[in-house]
Structure 1
């Protein structure tokens, strides 16, 4: 039987109720980060049938138990006195949370991978709520559109980047686990979850099966130029940047791509002042004002 840490449970309940006041639906979690209440439909206990998502009225349906009702939340925690944390359901109104989980246990820097994705696909990483995990990872909280369902995924975008979408949950700040406590990054505690950039949102959705041929867009061309700079090796960084900047200005994308190309060049090791000077030279060469 699970050991009961009443102080941890009391703190978890307090944090969960505070989150619910902000419109976030919550469930109690155990120290293992799993839902604290076991399913009432465990294998062999009932006849096989359609999967229950709480229609039976009992607790133990994981994220489908999530609620913003303080009375129900207290009942959930009373039924799980061993809970030391709480989960926040993703995909539900009003925020329709999308969690970007940047892990550190894969041997790669998921934060760097996300920045490279941002450069290649021309989106910015907005200022938003960031939750620090005990293992050194980070959870970015983003919001999704009303009519879009973002699925859960693990490592599909890049190694170490997991997505928590509809049917998933994020471990809430203040939760205590076997490995430590989750906490909001101090400089983001005042923020509301930011809207997910449209280019990132497209990456999170399953690919469409469309028989029509894809027609290149200016965005495709811009991403190609940024990727061309990102793949430069030492000795060719300036040359590639100059070529890409010339093509950008020739295609009317120069002003829009100046910052992404600069950041891409910095990622390869080129100093920012040198990168901007190269882009300015490309602008002049193609008859544009830098």
Structure 2
């Protein structure tokens, strides 16, 4: 990687990130707090503005405004002293295995605490929001409304360092779906389902999701099936439908995926459905008279 020639390393990193097409803005020296107000709108890729901001003696840390940059950055944290449980990288790997999705190599920055920032391109037509801990334990998302500390920035205990300058790849479909599901759950909680006939409501929901599975395009097979199974799993967890019916109907709806000229197999379809139902059942929709 070639850093833009500059006597000020913070300015050099700012110019480099801007050349990637990512709007930047200054942070307080040795800190992660913005040094300007309305930072999302003031973030820029203009080299002249950047040179004026990071003049020779101005050692502002550097931030990338993820929304304007068209990025989704997955922030993987380490447990703090005294905390238990997996680190963010382990939690994300477990989620990927559960959802049956890949974690392709992408642009990666390490953090002073031993964590990692995985930079992904936001897929066209998506508008994902930032979140903290909703995707998985110690896994945060920085997208619209958020920012990340850029490489080259420092604190008293260390710095943010570029460890993989692979061009950012598009956020995998299963991660897009997972982010959207978690955001929807967070916004709607503690939403309650009021249905005169819960079983009828559950069957109607199942029918709708099965229709979505039957019409899924080949490139969306995994994402749609995983999403449908998770959605029905939430109804299963609320006892709005029984497990056997959900599994049987979803499997039948996904029959065309196995017959299609793609990589879907019956074993993979079965695994994705089981994983989605299990994950959804852990986060049931709330019903009146039942605990969420």
Instruction: Name which of structure 1's ranges 203-212 and 125-134 shifts more when overlaid on structure 2.
Output: 203-212
CA contact (8 A) 2:72 2:121 kept: yes
The 5-angstrom pairing of residues 5-44 of structure 1 reads: 10-30=8-28, 31-37=30-36
Of 115, 119, 139, which residue of structure 1 is paired with 2:97? 119
Superimposed CA distance per residue, residues 81-126 of structure 1 (whole angstroms, 9 cap, x where no aligned partner): 351x200111225xx1001000003542211111111111121001
Unaligned stretches of 5+ residues in structure 1: 1-7, 38-59, 228-246, 265-290
**CA gap 1:256/1:140 in 2 versus in 1, 3 angstroms:** farther
1:150–1:165: 8 Å Cα contact kept in structure 2?
A: yes
Structure showing greater Rg: 1
User: Does the C-alpha gap of structure 1 residues 80 and 27 become closer, same or farther in structure 2, counting only changes over 3 Å?
Assistant: farther
Q: Pick one of 139, 147, 156 that aligns with 1:161.
A: 139
1:4 aligned residue: none
TM-score, normalisation: structure 2: 0.60
Give me the whole-angstrom Cα distance separating, in 2, the residues matched to 1:69 and 1:127. Answer: 29
Cα distance, 1:135–1:80 mapped onto 2, change above 3 Å: same
1:152: Cα distance to partner?
A: 0.7
The residue aligned with 1:74 is: 51
The structure with the largest helix share of the pair is 2
Taking only aligned residues, the RMSD between alpha carbons, in angstroms, comes to 3.5
TM-score by length of 1: 0.61
SS state at 1:156 partner: strand
Q: CA 1:79–1:105 in 2, change beyond 3 Å: closer, same or farther?
A: farther
Deviation at 1:78, TM superposition (A): 4.6
Pairs within 5 Å for 1:57-206: 60-78=37-55, 81-83=58-60, 85-93=61-69, 96-106=70-80, 107=84, 108-185=86-163, 188-189=164-165, 191-205=166-180, 206=183
Residues 180-217 of structure 1 show CA distances to partners (whole Å, capped at 9, x for unaligned) of 111111xx22x111101111101112328899614254
